[in-house]
Amino acid sequence: MSGSPHLDALTARGRAFLGSRHAIMAGAMTWVSERTLVSAISNAGGFGVLACGGMPPELLAAEIAATAALTDEPFGVNLITMHPQLMQLIETCRASGVTHVVLAGGIPPGQAVEAIKPFAKLIAFAPNFALARKLLRSGADALIIEGSEAGGHIGPVSLAVLAQEILPALPDAIIFAAGGIGRGEAIAAFAEMGAAGVQLGTRFAASAESIAHPAFKKAFLRASARDAVASVQFDPRLPVIPVRALKNAGTEAFMQKQREVAARLEAGEVALPMAQLEIEHYWAGALRRAVIDGDIESGSLMAGQSVGMVTAEEPVASIIDSLVAEAEAAISRRQAA
């Protein structure tokens, strides 16, 4: 394939870093980013990322092996920093020959960074410039700047602002832009600003290869950008990372869950780390009900604001080809002007 010379030139560092045909990473979506979707994305020229979520080490090992059996192309593994077995999961990645590890859900612990660096490239999330600089100094090989437009757990700042703040200030860093990206024109714009590539999740969640329940996919096809709303923190004593999802009864149920956990925290019945972990487990369960069981009323329909650009259940290869063609055309137009 040689149909995207302009985009290839702009994303050369990202493509080399990932080892993929295109510098298009797939956001790791719990219950969705499993062997079928991840291998399909990598086989189509993108870079698939397995979502470990709350998996125990032995289940992650099996999922990595199953993914590797479906693709010869590179893919990564996303680990949540607050997972109680984080170090064992890192060892599982090492033993399984994983080449790229994405650490999400908080500042990567130093012990985890030291354990990953000898065998894999480490990618971390940077919600602001100060943390971006710190992460690079502490060993991150690449960063993802994810705006609040994204689905799932989000930071407080939009990608439009993060890109302006971080990309010009760190021109030598390998940085992937994420959050609300649904078309190739946006990929072109961030690449021209200095991003080494991009990360998309929502566009792939309702793809043909996604194992998500048909009802989950239909909810995506029906939704507009304004339907993807961020959760509200109920109690400042219980710091909860906001989650963006399609508004439904499950959104209201989460408020009740926060009240319940905050009351137990106040009563001294549970410590703060365990309270936060309980919230995470709640989200994982609610997400499973929507993705696997098709319960789109009480389950969690995690989606980014780009959900309005999901208009059909398309094969992953078609999605990536369209994104690349749109990006290449946009860059060509600007360079010809």
CB 309 within 8 A of CB 223: no
Residue-wise pLDDT tens digits, 222-267: 999 999 999 988 778 787 888 999 999 988 888 889 889 999 988 9
Q: Report the distance separating Cα 265 and Cα 223, nearest Å.
A: 36
**202 and 230 fall within a common domain:** no
The pLDDT value given to residue 2: 56
Give, for 206, the enclosing helix (H) or strand (E): none
**172 and 251 fall within a common domain:** no
Q: Report the distance separating Cα 265 and Cα 151, nearest Å.
A: 28
**111 and 43 fall within a common domain:** yes
**191 and 240 fall within a common domain:** no
Query: 3-class SS at 104?
Result: strand
**154 and 229 fall within a common domain:** no
pTM: 0.95
Domain of 150, CATH number, reads 3.20.20.70
**136 and 147 fall within a common domain:** yes
Q: What's the number of CA atoms in the CB half-sphere (13 Å) around residue 210? A: 30
Given CA atoms 92, 95, 96, 98 in this order, what sign does their dihedral have?
A: positive
**228 and 178 fall within a common domain:** no
**205 and 275 fall within a common domain:** no
**54 and 158 fall within a common domain:** yes
The pLDDT value given to residue 223: 98
pLDDT higher than threshold 50 for residue 1? no
**41 and 52 fall within a common domain:** yes
Q: Report the distance separating Cα 202 and Cα 302, nearest Å.
A: 9
Structural domain containing residue 286: 214-305
Share of the chain above pLDDT 70, in %: 99
Total structural domains within the chain: 2
Residue-wise pLDDT tens digits, 101-153: 999 988 899 999 999 999 999 999 999 999 999 999 999 999 999 999 999 99
**Where do the DSSP E strands lie in 266-331?**
301-302
**154 and 247 fall within a common domain:** no
**131 and 85 fall within a common domain:** yes
pLDDT higher than threshold 70 for residue 159? yes
Query: What's the rounded mean pLDDT across residues 200-229?
Result: 98
